């Protein structure tokens, strides 16, 4: 299998794993920083968290490991990344739309206003 095809399958699995607090999948939320395919049975993933004090810091990586094993029979090494820190700018366009539908506002627009509070 081509690496790009396998990466797309991995992404599809990641899109099934929801951040329980926000209700958006971890891929479109922008928590997946990097996917490195080692071989057809192993992947290394750099993953961020929405905050350094995320109560799901141990749960989410285990969910990724379990789902990749169950769906694709792949082993996963998960590296939690704190730098660069997660911001809403990491969200995919799909994740941004999901957030807007769920919460009624564009989180990226709100975030950008906090960066430049004097600009309207």
For the chain, state the CA radius of gyration.
15
Q: Would you say residue 102 has pLDDT above 90?
A: yes
- Across residues 108-118, what is the average pLDDT? 86
Phi, psi dihedrals of residue 39, rounded to the nearest 5°: -160, -170
Give me the percent of the chain exceeding a pLDDT of 90. Answer: 82
Which is higher by pLDDT, 115 or 118? 115
| Distance, CA of 29 to CA of 22 (rounded, Å) | 9
Q: Would you say residue 1 has pLDDT above 70?
A: no
**Domains of the chain, residue spans:** 3-115
Residue 62, token pair as written in the block: 């285990």
| Distance, CA of 4 to CA of 21 (rounded, Å) | 31
pLDDT at 120: 54
pLDDT at 58: 87
Condensed to tens digits (0 to 9), the pLDDT of residues 22-75 reads 999 999 999 999 999 999 999 999 999 998 888 888 899 999 999 999 999 999
Domain 3-115 superfamily per CATH: Fe-S cluster assembly (FSCA) (3.30.300.130)
Instruction: Give the helix ranges, DSSP H, for the chain.
Output: 3-14, 59-72, 93-103, 107-115
| Distance, CA of 1 to CA of 25 (rounded, Å) | 25
């Amino acid at each position: 299998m081509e690496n790009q095809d396998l990466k797309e399958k991995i992404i599809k699995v990641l899109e099934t794993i929801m951040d329980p607090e926000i209700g958006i999948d971890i891929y479109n939320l922008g928590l997946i920083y990097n996917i490195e395919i080692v071989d057809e049975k192993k992947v290394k993933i750099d993953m961020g968290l929405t905050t350094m004090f995320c109560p799901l810091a141990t749960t989410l990586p285990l969910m990724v490991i379990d789902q990749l094993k169950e769906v694709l029979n792949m082993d996963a090494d998960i590296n939690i990344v704190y730098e660069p820190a997660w911001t809403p700018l990491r969200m995919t366009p799909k994740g941004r739309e999901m957030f807007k539908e769920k919460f009624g506002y564009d989180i990226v627009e709100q975030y950008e206003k906090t960066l430049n509070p004097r600009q309207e």
